[in-house]
Amino acid sequence: MEGKRSCLSSSIPSDLLRRIRKLTLSILTNLSNGQSPVVQIDRFRNYCTETSGNCYCNCGISVGKELLTLQRECHTRRLDVLLRVLLVVQTLLQQNRHGSKRDIYYMHPTVFKEQSVVDRAINDICILLQCSRHNLNVVSVGNGMVMGWLKFSEAGRKFDCINNPNTAYPVPVHVEDVEIDIIGVARYILVVEKESVFQRLANDSFCTRNRCIVVTGRGYPDVPTRRFLRLLIEKLHLPAYCLVDCDPYGIDILTTYRFGSMQMAYDAKFLCVPEIRWLGVFPSEVEKYCLPQQCLLPLTREDKTRVEAMLLRCYLRREAPQWRFELDLLLSRGLKCEIEALSVQSLSFLSEEYLPSKIQGGVYI
């Protein structure tokens, strides 16, 4: 998959338009000949539950094909949606314009019925055309924010975070148009799960004191945030740490940054950040920092089910056994907590003691 994409260059729009024409012509030819068209979509995954160590989930290799035909009603609907979305993509490419997934949904809301239907079609189109989503000129409404010792420009618009290192700037949506102009004073990149923690660090002038860059995806990171983080690490060659809640969702967000998501497994090699290290909050730290019982919450049945499923993921067993150990400890103790629970020590404990001491002491996994 990666090799095939490398042939896409500045001529990406014309290449993709050629592929769209080839795909639609194939379908029309089958229909004119009285045959049911068959659309083959490769299937990818970024993890499995294989325990033998013989899986190939992280190799960007298709694990099978899904065949869509007009002989099944559910497939007919998927093909209808796929072709409608493909027509929008073709128009965007021809006119050199960009549109959001939400824009596409509202073009045929009675047909699509829900956003997830459009999202699935976009992923199918990326696989069929062997490209990434941004190549289709389909963009997300960015949720990510960044602050710290960084300068960059996006399509000619300049962002000088260094002048106000504790001020939040939006993560650029068109990451392919970003140019990094960095003064070599940033020591590391810190990714935080939540906006509330990001704002806490801004209020405490964390970036000024520690000469770093802080990024947040405000929950599960969107594609622009993950692409921007990957770009920063590739261009600046800085260590990257991740701070998440000590709960199943926080740890799942952590794995999304490092290993990618199952939904976009076909693009994992271009979105994942294998260099990222888990800085906290670890289940094993609860006693160390003397968090009172009132700061701890019992895992719900849904939490336990999620943890049990995560423990089966092959990449944790193969590439992050220490992460898996902490996850197992979370399940066995049955208690979770938020990052903000550390404020029981003092309001500035997180920014003045917890984070600096862990980074300086190398207490991360």
Give the pLDDT of the chain (365 residues) as one tens digit per residue: 333 443 444 467 889 999 999 999 988 888 888 888 888 888 888 788 776 666 766 656 777 888 888 878 888 888 999 999 999 999 999 999 999 999 999 999 999 999 999 999 999 999 999 999 889 999 877 789 999 999 988 877 888 899 999 999 999 888 888 877 766 679 999 999 999 999 999 999 999 999 999 999 999 999 999 999 999 999 999 999 999 999 999 999 999 999 988 888 888 888 899 999 999 899 999 888 888 888 899 999 999 999 999 999 989 998 999 999 999 999 999 999 999 999 888 889 999 999 999 999 999 99
Beta strand extents in the chain (DSSP E only): 39-43, 64-68, 99-100, 138-139, 145-148, 151-154, 157-160, 169-170, 178-180, 189-192, 213-216, 240-243, 277-280, 297-298, 335-336
Q: Where are the domains of the chain?
A: 2-139, 145-361
Cα separations (Å) of 320 from 60, 153, 258, 337, 362? 19, 35, 10, 22, 17
**pTM listed for this prediction:** 0.87
> CATH classification of 2-139, choosing from 3.30.470.20, 3.10.450.50, 1.10.10.10, 3.40.630.30?
1.10.10.10
What CATH class does 145-361 carry? alpha beta
User: Is 106 labeled as catalytic in the residue annotation?
Assistant: yes
Q: What is the dihedral of CA 348, 351, 352, 355, to 10 degrees?
A: 140
Cα separations (Å) of 180 from 69, 177, 183, 326? 46, 10, 10, 36
User: Which pair of structure tokens corresponds to residue 18?
Assistant: 């050629």
Among the listed residues 106, 266, 289, 315, the single catalytic one is: 106
End-to-end Cα separation, the chain, in angstroms: 30
